[in-house]
Chains A and B, each alone.
Chain A
């Protein structure tokens, strides 16, 4: 059964947190959208047309993943110590990276990590020749060192260095060469410095005012190279992309399309999509997730790793291996398992024991993303499931609805009646325990949203294995989403795939991740066009990515008909 938007809005009015509802259907979301998107709006431009004010773009510190990918692209497979942690905002590290400062102490952490990495990369001068344009034969070979600094700097800083900048790092090399008599050490120190620079550690994509584009902030060709590369590859641009910037090809739609096509066909595009998915679904939490070893001895580091691999392989399968409808992820029976995960999924074990595709039986209650062991485990507790966390995942990540946190001074304890002291335990199902939350007015506002959906997954224990009963009690996995009833997780997965918010939510999440900020309400038109492109491409995610990076608005820091908010201390 396909939901209608009217049904959705009737149930969920006031909880929508995203942007991108199809035009003409957004009545019910009006208030919430205005409340939860960043927008000025309302002031009048010179032509009488409404002009919204938006914040100018900000520096974007490389996330840990972007930093690691970039350093390894530049230096090879070096050891990288931990650097300052990412901060999540709007559900993404990419957004936190555009807001949060590197702490003073963090500067030293990067210095140390890059010391180790560059030392390792240059430990074997013969191998290091592959990293630089020219390996000096002596410390007097300043032309060679200059050439290497300029070439390495262009890749690291995503733009050519000025002559003064090259001289600055050449002076370091000369100084170190003089002290040590070692030309390789000299070059290594210059590169260590280039990588400590804010020009490497931050994505500097600020744009310049383009009068011919109505005063919008337009990204330069170099900035476009950076945007394309970090969006599609989650790493620094390669020389081909930088060459395209150098020849100004990235100032035109044609040039951008050509490079976007190349980048999406490159294996590094998988790395880019993996990073989006990992941020969207909060894979970082897997590191924190432990289960009670007495109750769940099967919870092992190898299982955690293969659960992650399963989900990423599913994504790569629909995006790259056999490009097709991305929403198959939501209700597909196709999984990727080794024998350890196969046991969790009730699938046969085979030899050799490698990660492989398999298909769940049609009769199996497990289906799609919400049936993956990773999602079920991430949104559970050490000793039991959590209908609230699981429901929240669906509502937030797949449907872009916001759920307010519990208010203060409310009792958050579950009514866990275990019988009279000294008597036999009286177990209750999670549904029964959660019932008071849904009867209490204060709690019901949120729990009526999360719990009925999360309870649909009660047939899967805290590590995602199927169970017929919970503590011997029959499980009722039925419920309804926006007035549409379902009997169990299998039916819920189908409802989610067909949900009218599925596409708009995915587009909004992608826009937020790519922009490094909450979407502007003025970007609704872009969102609509991206949804149309997605639909026209039979919901292929690679085509959505292509549509996004080749969209005219991707070349500008502010949408049409917007002005930049005044900044007295600005440049």
Chain B
């Protein structure tokens, strides 16, 4: 390993383990004031989808007051986000107007992510449109080492259908599945960090990828339109690998990402819900965003209709969807309702781990990563017992470089829920004119939440 310049590593202590904190955006990338890139282009904000399954009780989730600044306070469900209130946008009252196909968890999730219902017929349980992160990626992330973004997951339990465990979609039949291993992500980021000696085998890999690319192009000629799109994504994957190899060879200077096996050795198996696993991914996403190895990511805490247990929250081995969401717990309905709320509070506590790292990571002049990011938090239903389409949890956290005002609870009345993701997309792509399809189609953003 190359020696690491001292300025690139900020040592800290967390939980007793020595770790390296995410770096500030590298000085060499910015102008003298740290307000723009060195070549004068404005700084790019980062985008993250943060998804959790099973919704929330509106009375537990929605703040009782509406307004800005001191006029409102976080709800019990959002109590752990109180310290991030200046960056917090809470939306309520919205409605998913699309007609569903298949399980309601799937098509409400599809609507909150794509503005359209889930597919029917042979594509039941799949999306019809790209998810918002994949609308943002082409305009905000194409020049990074992960043009489609980084996609991670905490719980890997529920199902095997497209909308069962994915939240990022390039389009129908084209998900970007999450990875559940912090170690795997760490390995990828470390290779791009510029702290390893260049590996001569990288050049050999490039030649193999060239050959595979030729194969793919020759095959593509023989294919129908659906398969052409599949091979195009394959080609894109080959290009992404080439770009990552180039980045490794060029040797960026990002410092060392936090090694999850050192910082969180007892975090639990991949796929299990633990706060330490959230912390591990939070470190790595903050690192990747800070160094602009990617500017787009998604994070599945728990998937749609998540059956996984929330044992660390004290809820035992029961499934969160059935035993708590459907009140089927042997201890009775009231126990289940209370347990469900405990689970949601625990979920937001894990989310707060990410926000802490974003807030504590300098990014540009007098700003931090949270100032320069937008994190869209959502779920697959509103009221968990009734599977309601109204009030599916929706937060926007961060200011996306000044696009959002923050510190607001905005009630949307009965407005189309698609306005929420559309407003996020517009923050990254001001040229976007619409979002969604059919009843979910919107052409207007939510001006009240903008700066």
B122 and A517: CB pair below 8 A? yes
Q: Can you show 20 pairs from A to B with CB atoms below 8 A apart?
A: A88-B161, A88-B164, A90-B122, A99-B173, A100-B230, A101-B234, A102-B237, A103-B174, A103-B175, A104-B240, A105-B151, A193-B208, A198-B216, A202-B219, A288-B158, A381-B322, A408-B386, A413-B328, A416-B328, A571-B223
For chain A, the bracket of interface size reads 35 or more
Stretch at the interface among B70-78, B313-321, B428-436: B313-321
Point out the residues of chain A lying under 8 angstroms from B238, CB to CB: 107
A108 touches B387 (CB 8 A): no
* A462 CB, min distance to chain B CBs, angstroms: 11
The total of interchain contacts (Cβ-Cβ below 8 angstroms) comes to 228
- Partner of B332 from the list A90, A172, A418 (CB cut-off 8 Å) is A418
Query: Does A357 belong to the interface (CB within 8 Å)?
Result: no
Residue of B nearest to A38 (CB): B122
A411–B337 Cα distance when bound, in Å, is: 13
What is the 8 Å Cβ interface bit string for chain B, positions 387-401, against chain A (1 contact, 0 not)? 111000000000000
Contact B224–A571 (Cβ < 8 Å): yes
Which of A20-28, A121-129, A227-235, A289-297 faces chain B?
Answer: A289-297
Closest to B105 in A: A405
Please tell me if the beta carbons of A172 and B387 are within 8 angstroms of each other in the complex: no
7 extra interchain contacts, Cβ-Cβ under 8 A, other than A99-B123, A206-B223? Answer: A38-B121, A56-B224, A85-B160, A85-B177, A100-B230, A165-B215, A411-B386
Residues of B within 8 A of A421 (CB): 334
Give the residues in chain A near B203, CB-CB below 8 Å.
Answer: 179
In Å, the complex CA distance between A413 and B324 comes to 9
Chain A, residues 383-407, CB within 8 Å of chain B (1/0): the string is 1101000000000000000000111
| A104/B386 in contact, CB under 8 A | no
Contact B215 A292, beta carbon cutoff 8 Å? no
Asked whether any CB of chain B lies closer than 8 Å to the CB of A59, the reply is: yes
Q: Say which residue of B104, B200, B207 sits within 8 Å of A405 (CB atoms).
A: B104
B162-A102 in contact (CB<8A): no
User: Which of chain B's residues has its CB closest to A284's CB?
Assistant: B160
A412 in complex: contacting residue of B146, B148, B161, B385, CB < 8 Å: B385
Interface contact B318-A103, CB-CB below 8 Å: no
Structural contact, B323 and A381, CB atoms closer than 8 A? yes
A104 touches B160 (CB 8 A): no
| A499 surroundings in chain B (CB, below 8 A) | none
Q: Does B139 contact A (CB under 8 A)?
A: no
Asked whether A108 lies within 8 Å of B318 as measured between CB atoms, the reply is: no
Nearest to B181 among chain A residues (CB) is: A82
Does A362 sit within 8 A of B, measured CB to CB?
no
CA distance A104 to B175 in the complex (A): 10
Question: How far does the Cβ of A58 sit from chain B's closest Cβ, in whole Å?
Answer: 5
Q: Which residues of B contact A284 (CB under 8 A)?
A: 160
* B237→A108 contact, CB < 8 A: yes
> A449 in the interface, Cβ–Cβ < 8 Å?
no
Interfacial chain B residues near A111, Cβ < 8 Å: 205, 209, 241
Smallest Cβ distance from B75 to chain A, in angstroms?
22
Q: Decide: A87 and B162 in contact? CB cutoff 8 A.
A: yes
Segment at the interface with B among A329-337, A341-349, A562-570 = A562-570
Considering residues B174, B223, B240, B323, which has the most beta carbons from chain A within 10 angstroms of its beta carbon? Answer: B223
Residues of A526-571 contacting chain B, CB below 8 A: 567-571
Answer whether A58 and B160 are a contact pair too, CB < 8 Å, given A290-B317, A293-B317: no
Q: How many residues of B contact A (CB 8 A)?
A: 88
Which residue of A288, A293, A567 has the most chain B CB atoms within 10 A of its CB atom?
A: A288
Q: Are B318 and A383 in contact (CB under 8 A)?
A: yes
Q: Which of A202, A293, A418, A571 contacts B221 (CB 8 A)?
A: A571
B interface with A by C-beta (< 8 Å):
100, 102-104, 108, 121-123, 125-126, 146-148, 151, 156-162, 164-165, 170, 173-177, 179, 188, 200, 203-205, 207-209, 211-212, 214-216, 219, 221-231, 233-234, 236-238, 240-241, 244, 307-309, 316-319, 322-323, 325-334, 381, 385-389
Closest Cβ of chain A to B220, distance in Å, is 9
Which of B177, B317, B381 is within 8 Å of A382, CB to CB? Answer: B317
- Measured between beta carbons, the chain B residues less than 8 angstroms from A406 are 103-104, 387
Does A10 count as interface, using CB distance less than 8 angstroms? no
Instruction: Report chain B residues within 8 Å CB of A104.
Output: 147-148, 176, 233-234, 236-237, 240
The answer to whether B160 touches A88, judged by C-beta atoms less than 8 angstroms apart, is yes
Q: Are B204 and A179 in contact (CB under 8 A)?
A: yes
Shortest Cβ gap from B45 to chain A (Å): 22
Nearest chain B CB to A129 CB, angstrom units = 23
Give complex CA distance A172, B224 in Å: 30
Q: Is A175 an interface residue (CB 8 A)?
A: yes
Q: Report A-chain residues with C-beta under 8 Å of the C-beta of B308.
A: 288
Q: Is the CB of B237 within 8 A of A107?
A: yes
Does A270 touch B at the CB level, under 8 Å?
no
A172 to B211, CA, bound (A): 8
Judging by beta carbons under 8 Å apart, are A408 and B224 in contact? no
In the assembled complex, A414 has its CB within 8 A of some CB on chain B: yes
Within the complex, the shortest CB–CB distance from B384 to chain A, in Å, comes to 9
Q: Within the assembled complex, what's the spacing in Å between the Cα atoms of A103 and B219?
A: 18
Contact yes or no, A408 B388, CB < 8 A: yes
Closest A residue by C-beta to B233: A101
Provide the bound-state CA to CA distance between A290 and B273, in Å. 14
A142 within 8 Å of B by Cβ? no
User: A59-B230, A108-B237, A179-B204 in contact; A409/B387 too (CB < 8 A)?
Assistant: yes
**Interchain CB contact under 8 A, A408 and B234:** no
Given contacts A108-B241, A518-B122, contact A383 B330 (CB under 8 A): yes
Given the known inter-chain contacts A101-B174, A292-B318, please indicate yes or no for A384 contacting B330, CB distance below 8 A.
Answer: yes
